[in-house]
Amino acid sequence: MADLLIADDEERLRINLSGYFRLRGFSTREAATGQETLSLVEDSPPDALVLDLRLPDVDGLEVLTKVKQIAPATGVVILTGHGDVETAVKAMKLKADHFLLKPVDLKALEVIVSGLVASARAIERASYLERKAFGGSAKRDGTLGLPPDIESTLLQFAEQGSATILLTGETGTGKGVAARFVHDHSLRASKPFVEINCAGLSPVFLESELFGHERGAFTDAKQFKHGLLEMAEGGTLFMDEIGTLTPDVQAKLLKVLEDKSFRRLGGVRPMRADVRFIAATNEHLEKAARKGRFRQDLYYRINILSLALPPLRQDRGRIEVLAHVFLAEFRASAGKPTPKLSKEALALLQSYSWPGNIRELRNICERMALLVKGDLIGSDELPKEIAERKIPKPAPVGDLSLMAHEREHILAVLDMCHGNRTRASRLLGIHRTTLIEKIQKYGM
């Protein structure tokens, strides 16, 4: 359950926000003063903090600075009145993640908080991976636990100034963590890292989030609003699911990338855009561009530097380490020791194809951490779709024939592909009819 801390001296606002988020599955805590906020953060860092800049005892900017020192992974949303816009801009430079003007748009706040929670948990996962991989000693802040060649490439990207980056890969492979890693190791690390998930947002709302708007720019624009481009000034803007952008928004984004400037919705004054763009997608953008679903010129513009993050099934050796990390995380929150995986359970996990990648593994580990009764996780604690799978048996030691090993290898690939022969033939590098012939030959 996501942990949200609401810090505001207005009791009615705290109660309303707390009730709204609890109905949406959040765990909420409240603080009325700066000291109470800092005490709660020190006691247990929240995933996200909604912070009013005007607290009765401590200046909001001072609270923000200390929160970022105590819990750097905690996402912070600043709430401010109309007269505090200049102060809010200062807050963004102190690594606040977003700010909203009062009265608060609850739906917009929910979208922002949900994004911050996902980001905070990704950063925590990276920290756990680092401690696990290097025996508790820090090799470098933000190590991803990804293969060394991937991490090395990301470090090279971080050194390339303002060049745009396109991260590709299946859902759940850690594209958001990779984007944060690049930012944290770049010369822009002291500036804001701002992210937006483009999927599911209406074009008007998305444009308003990106560019900001003037009062009266559209029907619901009842007050002036800064956009994320402005908030990310000097830093990095991470746009996830960029393949879902509508043609109109694609055209406007292309103009920003080419001219390094933008206008708020309803505005006439051009604004400077000193921002590094990192885009991510689980789609094949080049194909989408060829079919006319994505602008070719925008594709070429964001694809200056590109990297495909590997799915979990291509590096099964990571499964044991990641599972231990996630189990330790969930059991620690309950004050319980970390259970071990039985050999059978580990073999089943390593034989699974993981369509949801690291995110799916994390969710399954959370379930196992809650259900396991002892200190050993057996196959009974695994989800049904994994526990009922058959582990391919290796060829007998005495049988060293190519035929025996070919049969077992084909069985393993078919199992990985859930029996999908077309997909299995592609992975095996043979024609589908050849695969069918071998299935019949080996009596599979």
pLDDT at 150: 83
Nearest to 267, CA basis, from 220, 226, 235 = 226
Q: In CATH terms, are 3-112 and 144-310 the same topology?
A: yes
Q: How far is 195 from 47, CA to CA, in rounded Å?
A: 16
Domain ranges for the chain: 3-112, 144-310, 313-387, 402-441
Tokens representing 101?
């003007």
Question: What does the block give as tokens for 183?
Answer: 């930012």
Say what the pLDDT of residue 392 is.
54
Q: Do the bridges between strand 340-341 and strand 305-308 make them parallel or antiparallel, or are there none, so unpaired?
A: unpaired
Cβ–Cβ < 8 Å for 395, 404: yes
Q: Rounded to whole angstroms, how far apart are CA atoms 342 and 14?
A: 46
The CA-CA-CA angle for residues 10, 15, 17, to 5°, reads: 95
pLDDT reported for residue 332? 73
CA–CA–CA angle 186, 191, 193 (5° rounding): 80
- The matching CATH number, chosen from 3.20.20.70, 2.70.98.20, 3.40.50.300, 1.10.8.60, for 313-387 is 1.10.8.60
Going by C-alpha positions, the residue among 289, 270, 292, 319 that lies closest to residue 145 is: 319
pLDDT the model gives residue 165: 96
Q: Burial level of 440, CB count in 10 A (0-12/13-18/19+)?
A: exposed
Q: Which fold has domain 402-441?
A: Arc Repressor Mutant, subunit A (1.10.10)
What is the distance between the terminal CA atoms of the chain, rounded to a whole angstrom?
A: 45
245 CB-near residues (< 8 Å, 6+ apart): 198, 206, 253, 294
pLDDT of residue 82: 57
Nearest CA-CA partner of 415 in 443, 392, 437, 438: 392
Q: Count of CB atoms within 10 A of residue 231's CB?
A: 23
- Token readout for 107 is 């739906």
Q: Which structure tokens are listed for 189?
A: 């690390």
Cβ–Cβ contacts within 10 Å for residue 14, how many? Answer: 20
Could you tell me the fold of the domain covering 144-310? Rossmann fold (3.40.50)
CB-based contacts of 219, cutoff 8 Å, min separation 6: none
Residues 275, 238: Cα–Cα separation, whole Å = 10
306 - beta bridge partners? 166
pLDDT at 295: 94
- How high is the pLDDT of residue 140? 37
The answer to whether residues 133 and 143 touch, using CB atoms and an 8 Å cutoff, is yes
Residuewise pLDDT in 10s, the chain (444 residues) = 789 999 999 999 999 999 999 988 899 999 999 999 999 998 888 989 999 888 898 888 889 888 988 888 788 998 877 555 566 667 666 677 787 888 888 888 888 888 788 766 655 655 554 444 434 433 333 345 566 778 889 989 998 888 999 999 988 888 988 998 899 889 888 888 988 888 877 887 888 888 887 776 666 666 767 788 888 888 999 999 999 999 999 999 999 999 988 888 777 788 888 899 999 999 899 999 999 999 999 999 999 999 999 888 887 777 887 888 788 878 776 677 788 899 889 889 988 888 888 888 988 998 888 888 888 898 888 988 888 765 555 545 555 566 667 877 888 777 767 677 887 887 777 888 888 888 877 777
Superfamily designation of domain 3-112: Response regulator (3.40.50.2300)
pLDDT for the residue 393: 53
State the amino acid at position 296 in one-letter form: Q
Burial of 326 (0-12, 13-18, 19+ CB in 10 A): buried
| Angle (nearest 5°) at CA 111 between 130 and 367 | 50
Name 100's bridge partners: 79
CA dihedral (114, 120, 123, 129) positive or negative: negative
Q: Mutual orientation of helices 317-333 and 357-371 as an angle, nearest 10°?
A: 50
Write down the pLDDT at residue 137: 36
